[in-house]
Amino acid sequence: MRNRRQNPSIFLTSLIAVSIMTMLSAMPTGAYGDIFVTNAGGNTVGDYTTSGTTVNASLISGLNEPFGIAVSGSNLFVTTVGDNTVGEYTTSGATVNASLITGLNEPFGIAVSGSNLFVTNAVANTVGEYTTSGATVNASLITGLNGPFGIAVSGSNLFVTNTATGTVGEYTTSGTTVNASLISGLNNPEGIAVSGSNLFVTNAATGTVGEYTTSGATVNASLISGLNVPEGIAVSGSNLFVANTGTSTVGEYTTSGTTVNASLITGLISPIGIAVTPTSVSVPEPSTFVIMGLGFAVMFVALRRRMNA
């Protein structure tokens, strides 16, 4: 107590500093604005920034033909065609459960919604539903598909690409068919991403990305062209990221079709799946910090007066 009375400024400054550090340490952290890409030929998952910088080209290794990938918070879910499983990993590359879901039949695409995973089975022509903890909800949630590859979720709806019939079908997350041929006339559609009321679909055979509404209307069937076997696609804000298997690259484009960087990421090995983490997190506004700072200042003055009295 003697030191505190003799050095009130030092004591109170330390108190404020500790309070601020505690507040900052409680703020969310993690990998934000990162691109995760599956390398089917290299049996790895690589991590890159949205500006194309390599974070870790072999973030996850030792996989068996990884295809689809989905991100949820600090976890990644990866489908591996070679052993018909879905594995769970952290965004920092640690293995949570390499065989989270087993017994699948060429699982290609995967999407996450809350605590549920939806997986396309290309050979069985089904979509299965599982929890993020690996429990089976319904292994044949949707049946009668034809070469299902990509899958995207929007609210209570699922959108699935059928490579064999050149269509995109719409279903509810409970498995009800809304429109099995919501979009037709495609050419080997594989990847699919949803942004608001728009769908973006890769056509591997024609090297294009088409844009459609979630109600099935065509916005631009050749929004992006000149690609080389485009497969996976992901959307982040107003940007699209496309995995080109033919050139082993990831290209960046705007959602209006403008090329930002056709070779944003290079040196991949048959990239298939792609997922992007949010570019920002919810943090206090600057004004909040100002108000908090004023609060600390008032507390400082009040306590100092009391201690000097």
Helices and strands counted in the chain (H then E): 3, 24
Return the pLDDT at 309. Answer: 55
Tell me the per-residue pLDDT of 192-242, one tens digit each, with 9 for 90 and over: 999 999 999 999 999 999 999 999 999 999 999 999 999 999 999 999 999
Would you tell me how many other CB atoms lie within 10 Å of the CB of residue 234?
26
Tell me the per-residue pLDDT of 80-112, one tens digit each, with 9 for 90 and over: 999 999 999 999 999 999 999 999 999 999 999
Would you tell me how many other CB atoms lie within 10 Å of the CB of residue 212?
23
Residue 212 identity: Y
Q: What's the burial of 2, exposed, middle or buried (CB within 10 Å: 0-12/13-18/19+)?
A: exposed
Return the pLDDT at 260. Answer: 98
Return the pLDDT at 16. Answer: 45
Q: Which residue has the higher pLDDT, 8 or 38?
A: 38
Return the pLDDT at 19. Answer: 45
Ranges of each domain in the chain: 2-26+284-308, 34-276
Q: Confidence class of residue 308 from pLDDT cuts 50, 70 and 90? A: low
Task: Enumerate the β-bridge partners of residue 246.
Answer: none
Q: What is the dihedral of CA 40, 46, 49, 50, to 10 degrees?
A: 10
Tell me the per-residue pLDDT of 39-78, one tens digit each, with 9 for 90 and over: 999 999 999 999 999 999 999 999 999 999 999 999 999 9
Contact call for residues 186 and 211 (beta carbons, < 8 A): no
How is residue 282 written in tokens? 């919810």
Contact call for residues 199 and 212 (beta carbons, < 8 A): yes
Return the pLDDT at 279. Answer: 57
Tell me the per-residue pLDDT of 252-304, one tens digit each, with 9 for 90 and over: 999 999 999 999 999 999 999 999 997 543 334 444 334 344 444 444 444 45
Q: At a CB cut-off of 8 Å and minimum separation 6, what does 75 contact?
A: 88, 89, 90, 91, 96, 132
How is residue 57 written in tokens? 């080209």
Q: Residue 305 pLDDT > 50, yes or no?
A: yes
CATH number assigned to the domain with residue range 34-276, chosen from the 4 options 3.90.550.10, 2.40.128.280, 2.120.10.30, 3.90.228.20: 2.120.10.30
Return the pLDDT at 278. Answer: 76
Helix (H) or strand (E) run with residue 297 in it: helix 286-308
Tell me the per-residue pLDDT of 150-177, one tens digit each, with 9 for 90 and over: 999 999 999 999 999 999 999 999 999 9
Contact call for residues 122 and 137 (beta carbons, < 8 A): no
Give 116's DSSP letter: E
Return the pLDDT at 131. Answer: 98
Q: Which residue has the higher pLDDT, 178 or 9?
A: 178
Q: Confidence class of residue 30 from pLDDT cuts 50, 70 and 90? A: very low
